Chain A
Amino acid sequence: MSGLSWLPVALLAVPLLGALLLLAPPPALRRTLRLYGLAVSGVVLVLAAIMVATFEYGQAARMQFTLDLPWIPGLGVRFHLGVDGISLPLVALTALLTFLCFVYLGVGDGRGQGQLLRPRAGGSRPRALVFTLLVLEVGMIGTFLALDLLLFFVFFEIVLIPMYFLIAVWGGKARRAAAVKFILYTLLGSVVMLLGLLFIWAQAGTLDMVELAARHGAGMSRAVQVIAFLAVGIGLAVKTPMWPLHTWLPDAHTEAPTVGSVLLAGVLLKMGTYGFARIAIPVLPEGAAALAPWLGALAVVGIIYGSLACLAQRDLKRMIAYSSVGHMGFVLLGFATLTTVGINGALFANVAHGLITGLLFFLAGAIKERYSTADMPSITGLLATLPHLGSVLTFAAIASLGLPGLAGFWGEMLALLGAFDPAEALSRPLFLTFMVIGGLGAVLTAAYFLVMLSRVTHGLPGSKAVPVPPGTVLAASGPGDEATGPEASLAIGPSDETADARLEKTGERIGLLSHMPDIRRYEMAAWVPLIVLILLFGLWPGLLLSLTTPAVEALLGVVS
C-alpha cells in the first residue's frame, strides 16, 4: 500500500491549500464562495472515500498509507502519518461531517437562516467562515492521522483556534464568554497532556506511537505509567469531556453556530476518546489498568449526571450538549473495561454519537431558526406544524436513546457488556456495579429524550414563541435573539374561554405557523446521509466492528 502514501498528505494538503487560497485574491472567489467550500470539502470527502475503498480490510490492525519523514531531527519529531481500523472510520466521519456542514451552508439559494455564507447587511464574513472551517478540517483529520506524539499534539491544538473563532465570531448572544471558557479549559487540559506526552518521551525515548504501542509499556515502570496516564488522561478527558471536566461543553455548544455545534459534537469530542484508544491505553497499559476503576467510576457518574442534567434543561441545544456528556460516559466506560468488547463498543459508540448528535445539532439549529428560540416549553406540536422536521427529530432522538436497530444501540450495549466481564486485572464486582448504574443511565437517557419528544413534537401547536416568517433576516447575532414583544398576544387565551374558541384559535395558529418552512432542500441534503448511515450501522454493526476488532486486539495485546 505504500503506493498510496500520498493519500494522508493529500487529505491534509487539500483543505490547507484551499484555506490558503482564500487569503490570496479577495474579489475573485467572493461570488463562488459557497461552491468553493463545497468543492474543497468535496475533494477531501472523495479522498477519504478512496482511502476507505483501498484500505486493506484483512489487515485492519496494521498501519496503512504510512508516511514517515523526519521533521525536526533535533527533537526527534517525525512527520509520521497513517491509518488503521481505529482511525479510518473517524477520518471518514470527519470528511463527511465537514462536507455536510458545507452542504448545509452552501446548497440552494443560500438564503436560509443557518446559511451563514449568505451575503448580509451586517457582514457575516463568509470568506473567514470558509477559511475557519477548512483549517478546522486540517486539524481534525491530522489528529486522526498523526502517529507521532508531538505531531498529534500539534494537530490536537490546531483545532482549538478555529473552533474558538467559530464560537466567538458566529456564535449566539453569550458567545464571547463561552468561547473564552472553551479555549481556556481545553488549553489547560492540553498543557497537562503535553506534560504527560513529554514525560512518556523522556521515559521511553521515542515519540513514535506505533513503536510505543508495540512495546505495550515495556521499559516504563508502573509508577511512571500511572503518572503519564493521569496527565495524558486529564488532557483527553477535558476534550471528551468526562465528568467533572465537562463544564465548558454546554456553554460552547449552546452558543456555537449550528455548524460549530455539529463539528464540536461530531468530531472534536472524538479526538479526546481517540486519544484514549490510540495513546493512553496501548502505550501505558499498566497505568490504564491502575486507573481504569477511576475512569469507569467517573464515566458512570458522567452517564447519570448527564442524564439528570438533561432532564432539567429547558434549552434544546443545551439538553443535547448534556446528552453528549452522558454518551461520552458510555464511551469512557467501554475504554475502562480494557476488554476487546468494551473498547470496540466504545469506538462504535464514538462514531455513532458523531452521526446522531451531529444530526441532532443540525435539527436543533433548524428549530432554533424557525422559532427563534430553543426553549423547549415554548415549542410544542412540532409534528403538527412541521411534520417532516418533527419526524426527523423523533428519529434522531430515538436513535440517540439507543433503540435497537439504530446506530446508538450497539456501542452502548457493547460497552455495558464489556463492563459485565472486564479485563482480568480489574475488579469484577466493581464493574458489575458500573454496568448496573450505566444501565440505569440508559433508562434515564430514554426518559429525557421521550420527555423532550413529548414536549416538543407532541401537543397542540400552541407555540409561545413567535415563528419567523420565511425570508426574514435577523441581525448578525440573530439565532441567539429571543422573541419578546408579541409573545403575550399570541399566547393561548385565558382558561375561561370555551373549548370551541380555543380550538378556533389553535386553528388560526396552525394557519400562521404553516408559513414556517418545513425541511428545506439544503437541510435535507445535509441530513439524509446521516440518517442513512445511522440506519446502516444500526442494522449492520458488523461493518464497523469488523474494522475495529483486529486493531483493538492488537492494541490491547498484553492486557487481555
Chain B
Amino acid sequence: MIQSIDYFAIAAPLILALVAGLVLLLDAFLPATRRVRTALGLVTLTGLLAALAFVVAQSPAAAQGLSTFCVPKALNTGPTPMCSFVVDHYTVVFAGLALVAGVVVVLLSMTELAGGGIPVGEWYFLLLCTLVGAVALPASRDLIMLVVALELVSLPVFALTALKRYDGRGSEAAVKLFVMSVVSTAVMLFGVSLLYGITGTVYLNRMAATLSGQLPAPGAPGALPSVVAVGVVLVTAGFAFKIAAVPFHSWAADVYQGAPIPIAALLSVISKAAGFAGLILVLVAALRGQAATWSPLIAILAALTMTVGNLLAMRQRSAVRLLAWSSVAQSGYILAPLAIAAGSGAAIAASMAYLVLYAAMNLGAFAVVMLVSRSSPRNELNDYRGLAFRTPVAGIALAFCLICLAGLPPGLAGLFAKVVVFREIVEGGLGWLAVVMAVNTVIGLYYYVAWTARVVTPAAAPAHKLARIHPATWVAVAATLAVAVLFSAAPQLVLTLTTLTG
C-alpha cells in the first residue's frame, strides 16, 4: 500500500535535511579556506531562511491543519484520522521559533568557526540535523515520531559540544550531556512503552480517546490500571531532563560552560523549546484525561525548578554558568502554566508566549556573551565591567536583555511575559505557585541587576579592547536587540501569535 505524502507539509524539515547533506558535500569537495567557511555558513543560513519561508507560507493553511503520514482510511478503525505529522498553528509557532533561533545560532557560529580548529562542514551538518528534529518535533503526533524527533534534537548536540577537539571541558560536557540524555531517553521510552502497552496505540489523539474511556483499552480491559500513572510520571520525567527541570537539572551548568557558546545558546533555546513542545503535546494531546496525575507534578516541578535555578544562579561568577542556571529558572516560569494546561488553552498560550519572549531575550544575552568571549576567554562577570563604555551597542543590548529577563520595566517583554503567566496561574487557582513565582522573580532580580550594574559601571583598570569580531555576531546582537525592543513595545504581537493556538 502506498502512502501519499504531502510534501508541502514536510517542506521545512525536508529542506533542512537536504541542505545538511549539501553542506557536508560542499565541505568535502571545497578547499578549507576562510572564504569557504563563510560560504558554508551562508549556505546554512539560506537553507534556514528557505525553511522559514515555507513555515510562514504554511501558516494560512495551518488553520485547518495539514496532515501527512496518516493511517490509510482502510486500516483506521477509529472515528478520527490518525496522522503522524500534522502542521497546525502550534507547529508553525514552534517551528518558526526554532528556525529564527537557528538563524541567530548560525550567525554566532560564524564567529566561533572563524577561529579555525573546528571542522566546519560537520558543525553545520550537525546543527542542521538538530534543527530538522526541532522543526519535526512539534509536528509529531505519535509517540514514536516524537521520541525520534527528540533524539534527533539531542544526539547531534553531543557531537557539537565535543567538536572543539583537545578541549577537556568540552569533552567532559559532551559526556555528561550524553549520559544524562541517554538516561532520560531510556526513562521516557519505558514510560512510552507502558502507555503503549495499555492503550495499544502510539497516536496521541487515539491514546487520549482510549485513556478517557471513549475507546476500549486493549491492554487493560475494564478499569485503567495504576500503571498508567507510572507511565505518565516516567514520560514527564524524561521530558524534564530535556528542559533541565529540577531535579533533573544538574547537567546544565557544566554542559553550557563546556560547550561552545553558540551550542549553549542552542541548548538554552532550541533544545529547550523542543522539549517543551514535546511535553505540551504529550500532556495535553495524549494525557489530558490524566491531568489529576500530572498537574500537581508539573506544579511542583515548576516551583522547584524556578527556585533552585534562581538560588544557584545567585552564586555564579561565570557569565555562561549564570545564564545556564537562569535558563533553568526560566524553565520553571514556562512550566508553571502547564500545571493548569488541561483545563484551558490559554495556559498553553501563556507558556508559548513566555517561551517566545524568553528566546528573544536569552539569545540577545548569548550574542553579547559570544562577543565578549572573544576578548576574555574566561568570560567571568567581572569581564563585563564597563562594557557599556567600551562598546556601547553591546553593553546596551546586554543590559536591556538582562533587564528583560529580570522582568523589569523598561524590559517590558519580560514583564508582560511574567504577567501573562501570573494571570494564568492565578486564574487557574494556583495561588501558592504565583507566590513562589513572585518570590523567585525577586531573587532573579538580584543577579540580573548585579550583572547589569557591572555592565554599566566604569572599569577601574584600563579595559582591553574587544578583539576583532566577525560581523555576523554584530548582526546577531543587533537583530536580537531589535526583536527584544519590538516585543517590549508591542508584546501584543507575541500574544496574538500564540493565542491563536487555543
Contacts and interface: CB of A to CB of B under 8 A. Distances in A.
A184 B446 contact: yes
A75 B457 contact: no
Nearest to B392: A23
B409 A158 contact: yes
A558 interface: no
B423 A75 contact: yes
B426 interface: yes
A53 interface: no
A55 B115 CA distance: 65
Contacts of A179: 453
Interface stretch (B14-22, B83-91, B434-442, B472-480): B434-442
Contacts of B409: 153-155, 157-158, 161
A192 interface: yes
A368 B470 CA distance: 50
Interface of B is mostly: helix
Interface string B442-485: 10011001100100111000000000000000000000000000
A499 B190 CA distance: 99
Contact of B416 (A75, A201, A202): A75
A195 interface: yes
B449 A183 contact: yes
A198 B423 contact: yes
B456 A165 contact: yes
Interface in B129-180: none
Nearest to A192: B438
- Most chain B CB neighbours (cut-off 10 Å) among A74, A123, A187, A202: A74
Given A184-B446, A198-B423, A72 B492 contact: yes
B426 to A, nearest CB: 5
Interface in A160-192: 160-161, 164-165, 168-169, 179-180, 183-184, 187-188, 191-192
A445 B446 CA distance: 37
Nearest to B449: A183
Interface residues of A, number: 33
Nearest to B439: A191
A198 B422 contact: yes
Contacts of A164: 449, 453
Contacts of A169: 456-457
Contacts of B408: 157, 160-161, 187
Nearest to B410: A158
Interface in B86-119: none
Contacts of B450: 180
B453 A168 contact: yes
A143 B410 CA distance: 14
Nearest to B353: A74
B441 A75 contact: no
A161 B408 CA distance: 9
A150 interface: yes
B496 interface: yes
B419 interface: yes
A73 interface: yes
Contacts of A36: none
Given A74-B495, A165-B456, A168-B453, A191 B419 contact: no
B495 A75 contact: yes
B193 interface: no
Contacts of A188: 442
Given A75-B495, A198-B419, A191 B441 contact: yes
Contacts of A183: 445, 449
A324 B499 CA distance: 48
B410 to A, nearest CB: 6
Interface string A306-325: 00000000000000000000
Contact of A74 (B427, B435, B442, B492): B492
A161 B423 contact: no
A505 B499 CA distance: 81
A522 B393 CA distance: 36
A395 interface: no
B370 interface: no
B420 interface: yes
A437 B435 CA distance: 37
B407 to A, nearest CB: 9
A198 B426 contact: yes
Contacts of A73: 492
A164 B453 CA distance: 9
B237 interface: no
A165 B452 CA distance: 11
A192 B439 CA distance: 9
Given A74-B495, A157-B409, A187-B408, A201 B423 contact: yes
B460 to A, nearest CB: 11
B145 to A, nearest CB: 32
Nearest to B412: A154
Contacts of B496: 74
A192 B427 CA distance: 17
B453 A202 contact: no
A271 to B, nearest CB: 13
A179 B457 CA distance: 12
Interface string B275-301: 000000000000000000000000000
B491 interface: yes
A158 B450 CA distance: 17
A242 to B, nearest CB: 19
12 contacts: A72-B495, A75-B416, A75-B423, A154-B409, A161-B403, A164-B453, A168-B453, A179-B453, A183-B449, A195-B434, A201-B423, A202-B423
Given A74-B492, A195-B438, A198-B422, 13 more contacts: A73-B492, A74-B491, A74-B496, A74-B499, A150-B419, A154-B412, A155-B409, A161-B410, A180-B450, A184-B449, A187-B408, A201-B423, A202-B427
Interface of A: 71-75, 77, 123, 150, 153-155, 157-158, 160-161, 164-165, 168-169, 179-180, 183-184, 187-188, 191-192, 194-195, 198-199, 201-202
